[in-house]
């Protein structure tokens, strides 16, 4: 009798778990477009590579290529010349590349003394990972890149190292 009751209880728990899983899978991310809110990003203020606080609100209304990185991340460092080239090629088209570092300002300041980067860099420390997670980085990996349209919606996300050519394929569909 006890085994039959345990089997029924386990079956009910399993059915409920599967039901909640399906509900989460099929409804999560469908509210507000793709469920990735850029509001916390554009509400944030971070110090730039010179230590000057910058509101990211100034980039709202632009197409944003947002790259989460860290100074200790080799793939992050490898993609920076291509991100700089992308920024330079598109800065007159209402497109901006932003680098949000999961680092402190001292690490970024030291980094830019050695490496030329043409796009704005910000020191977000661990708050950067919170924003990245909110934008779809459920794997907590770096680099993580997000393309945001002028209306503030997330178009595409990339885990790991990206290239200028890969980003241009998405940007060409967004810019005149």
Q: Does 125 reside within a domain?
A: yes
Which of left, alpha, beta for 140 (phi over 0: left; psi -120 to 50: alpha)? Answer: left
Which token pair is 52?
């000057």
Say yes or no: 14 and 82 in one domain. Answer: no
Domain membership flag for residue 176: no
Q: pLDDT tens digits for 63-95?
A: 999 999 999 999 999 999 999 999 999 989 999
Q: For residues 1 and 44, state if they share a domain.
A: no
85 and 157 share a domain? yes
**Does residue 17 sit in the same domain as residue 98?**
no
Does some domain include residue 74? Answer: yes
Range of the domain at 154: 39-171
175 band by pLDDT with thresholds 50, 70 and 90: low
Residue 14 and residue 69 in one domain:
no
Is a pLDDT exceeding 90 seen at residue 163? yes
Residues 61 and 136 in one domain: yes
* Whether 46 and 94 share a structural domain: yes
| Prediction pTM value | 0.79
Taking the C-alpha atoms of residue 175 and residue 100, their distance in angstroms, rounded to an integer, is 23
Cα-atom radius of gyration of the chain, to the nearest Å? Answer: 20
């Amino acid at each position: 009798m006890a085994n039959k009751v345990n089997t029924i209880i386990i079956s009910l728990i399993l059915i409920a778990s599967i039901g909640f899983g399906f509900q989460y899978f099929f409804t999560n991310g469908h509210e507000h477009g793709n469920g990735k809110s850029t509001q916390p990003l554009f509400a944030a203020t971070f110090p730039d590579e010179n230590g000057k606080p910058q509101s990211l609100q100034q980039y709202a209304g632009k197409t944003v290529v947002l790259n989460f990185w860290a100074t200790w991340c080799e793939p992050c460092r490898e993609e920076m010349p291509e991100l700089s080239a992308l920024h330079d090629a598109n800065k007159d088209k209402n497109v901006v590349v932003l680098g949000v570092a999961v680092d402190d300002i001292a690490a970024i300041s030291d980094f830019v003394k050695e490496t030329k980067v043409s796009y704005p860099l910000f020191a977000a420390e661990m708050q950067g990972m919170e924003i990245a997670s909110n934008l779809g980085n459920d794997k907590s990996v770096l680099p993580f890149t997000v393309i945001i349209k002028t209306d503030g919606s997330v178009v595409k996300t990339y885990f790991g190292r990206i290239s200028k050519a890969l980003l241009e394929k998405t940007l060409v569909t967004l810019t005149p």
